[in-house]
Amino acid sequence: MLRRFLKDSFAYSAANILSHLVSLLLLPLFTRVLSPAEYGVSDILQAAGSVMRILIPLEISQALARYYAGTKDELTKTEYASTAFVFTAIVWILYTFASFLFSVPFSNLLLGDLNWAGVFRWQTLALALNGIFFLLQLQSRYDFRTKDFVVSSLAFVIVSSIVSALTILLCGSGIRGMYYGQVAGSLFGSIFALGRGWHRFLGGFKFRRLRELLIFSGPLVPASLSVFIAAYIDRFAIQRYMTLADVGVYGIAIKFSSLMSLLLVGVASALNPLIYSKHEDPSTPVAIERIFRFFLIAGSTILCGFALFSVEAISVFTTPEFFGAASVMPILVLSAFLGSLPMFSPGILLAKRTKVVAFITALSAALATLLNFILVPVIGIAGAALSNVIASGLKAAAYSLCGKKYYPIHYGLRSFAFLVAPISGSFLYHIIGSGKPWNNFIARAFAFVFFSLAGAWLVGGKELISLISGIRSRARKVR
């Protein structure tokens, strides 16, 4: 299981790394053309789109993941896949039609300005096509067609980036160009994914399969809405107490902190199918615990890097209008890291206790909402970032405590305790060294190496040595 995980995780991470690298390379160009207010509009529309991704398909993709991976009969798998695909396509088409019809009042409600109606329509189309593309990619993941997933992801990234760059920089389309690119990229990616996995969608539309899927996914809708609230309430709080420009600056910090997603998405994409298909194997909990150690090592390294080099990153890739993002970037990376930990506590979902999931995420969302509206008026965008850290940490703890009841995995507190020291050290260095003459690039580079190696050794020194030795021995055999 560990070998399959490492292979698939590398492939999924590579695709996401390329996606984020392209996004970062385009950032210096876009920040010189688009204003912070336009980035703020983009962030608000993204937040609204995240709600629609939950409400429109009713989280049927999560149900497909659970039932498809847990079924061995090929005909039944095809019925689940084709039913989910037809349902998803129909509901997104209906949503697009309704959104185009009421684009003016919707844009006024979200952005307080009728002039954004045209942008809202293009965002709606991009959202619908991306929703269908997401389901097709999910199908390739649970068929273990890793290469197809990677190629379709690359098709999306390349096409969307080229179209966005050409329309924004050469045609002067402004923020609409971002959605032109997403529409084109989703179309190309979907065509490829559907062409490679078409045989899985020949099972027709079965109402009994739809009923099974929706019974599972129904309770997850409020849970996922709670996840959305916890993740996006910060933008609305900033918009409420500050300005769209501040939302744009905060959004740039989130864009950089999403580099943590390179690790998270790759791990989740490889880990979830393995857990669902092999959870009955007695060796699986031990394998998950080993994967978790490597995840902590990689995560702590990324956290230390962001804490020490956030100023340089923002200075290189953006203009002075966005430099304020550097102060909250490390905090947002920590929030993303803590928010990913529930995937290592699969017991609740394996036991199909979706109501427990809904309860935990609702509490997390309520806490995030309360903290945002208390802290943002006091300390600005830093308050939004701190609210996310607190809510994400408590949610991860709740998942771990409840998940042990249904699927025990013995992580122990030792790894977490050891991890606190190097991460805290890098954050303190970032705070204390800010503006000091001795805090130059070379000093921060030495600090990064020290804190990263300390974290890796304390959390899983023996595991790391064993992994490196295994890689070396395999390399010798290849030679």
Instruction: Please give the torsion angle defined by the CA atoms of residues 326, 327, 333 and 339, in that order, rounded to the nearest 10 degrees.
Output: -140
E-strand stretches of 255-412: none
Is 328 strand, coil or helix? Answer: coil
Please report, in tens digits, the pLDDT of each residue of the chain (479 residues total).
556 555 555 666 666 667 767 777 777 777 777 788 888 888 888 888 888 888 888 888 888 877 876 677 778 888 888 888 889 999 999 999 999 998 888 888 777 777 888 888 999 999 999 999 988 888 887 777 778 888 888 888 889 888 988 888 888 788 888 899 999 999 998 888 888 877 777 767 888 888 888 888 877 787 777 777 777 888 889 988 988 889 888 988 888 777 766 656 666 656 766 677 777 788 788 778 777 877 877 788 888 888 888 888 888 888 888 888 888 888 888 888 888 888 888 888 788 787 788 788 888 888 999 999 999 999 999 999 999 899 988 988 888 888 888 888 777 666 666 567 667 777 777 677 766 776 777 888 888 888 777 777 766 555 655 655 655 665 555 55
Q: What are phi and psi for residue 312, nearest 5 degrees?
A: -60, -40
Dig out the tokens for 260 from the structure.
């943590």
Cβ atoms of 62 and 78 closer than 8 Å = no
**Separation of CA 29 from chain center:** 24
d(CA 64, CA 144): 14
d(CA 243, CA 255): 18
Q: Which of 258, 300, 27, 314 is CA-nearest to residue 165?
A: 27
d(CA 306, CA 309): 5
Dig out the tokens for 329 from the structure.
């970037």
Q: Which of 344, 347, 384 is CA-nearest to residue 368?
A: 384
Cβ atoms of 311 and 328 closer than 8 Å = no
Cβ atoms of 375 and 240 closer than 8 Å = no
d(CA 270, CA 371): 34
Cβ atoms of 441 and 312 closer than 8 Å = yes
| C-alpha dihedral sign at 287, 264, 148, 191 | positive
Spatial CB neighbours of 251, under 8 Å, sequence gap ≥ 6: 39, 40, 42, 43, 235
d(CA 323, CA 305): 18
Dig out the tokens for 35 from the structure.
């204003």
